Amino acid sequence: IMKRCIIIGASSGLGRGLAELLLSDGWMLGIAARRTERLEEIQNKSPQQVIAQKLDVTKPEATQQLRQLIEKLGGMDLFIYSVGIGKRNPDLEEETEMATMTTNVMGFTRTIGEAYRYFATQGSGHIVSISSVAGTKGLGTVPAYSASKALQKTYIEALEQLANKRGLRISFTDIRPGFVSTEILVGDDYPMLMTIPHATRCIWKAIRRKRHVAIIDWRWNIFTRLWALIPRCIWRRIKL
């Protein structure tokens, strides 16, 4: 029996890279995003393995659309959330901050919650959240982005505890990549920038091993461990 995975945010970046890896590994895929034309490109390459659906995590109907996609796929064993926006906003422009929070907090909570409820009814499953190392500390140039990523890792940690309390066989993997060469980083210089193929291979390896937390890649693992040790009295004076 082919295993079934749904990827939210599969139209580009890490979500698309993971979709291609899972297809080559023989998975049945339900892929969703706002841009359906990009989803159709993936579906047309593997029509027997892929079901595509338009889904905007910022809209209330996203939960119903996710449930419909699960039904079309015939069930779900693995859920991957790979949606996120964020850009440098040192002037704290309101529209940018609120758009980031709407997607990274409201959209995340809405769809992760629906996946959890489905797996709770089923009794088992695997939820994967692709967040960011930006949630390690509050970053002055990207306040909403770093705060939203901190929320995501805390939310997954809370759901993991809740599932264990209820005796549910739900696995959770919190993926925290460093900077990856995706569309949202175009136009800026970022250190230790990873390619999408490299990052997705590392992510898929962590998912297969059912890692609880995986920082992508080893360089960022070292960096964030040191980063987390910096006391607040020093952190607030660092210019990033």
Q: Is 116 a catalytic residue?
A: no
Q: What confidence tens digit (pLDDT) does each residue in 58-67 have?
A: 999 999 999 9
Compute and round to an integer the Cα radius of gyration of the chain.
17
Q: What is the pLDDT of residue 1?
A: 64
pLDDT for res 114: 97
pLDDT of res. 86: 85
188 pLDDT band, cuts 50/70/90, is low
Q: Whose CA is closest to 181, among 193, 192, 199, 197?
A: 193
Selecting among 81, 116, 118, 145, the annotated active-site residue is 145
Q: Average pLDDT of 36-60?
A: 93
pLDDT in tens, 76-103: 999 999 998 888 899 999 999 999 999 9
Peptide bond into 56 cis (omega under 30): no
pLDDT tens-place string over residues 115-125:
999 999 999 99
Q: Is 92 left (phi over 0), alpha (psi -120 to 50) or beta?
A: left
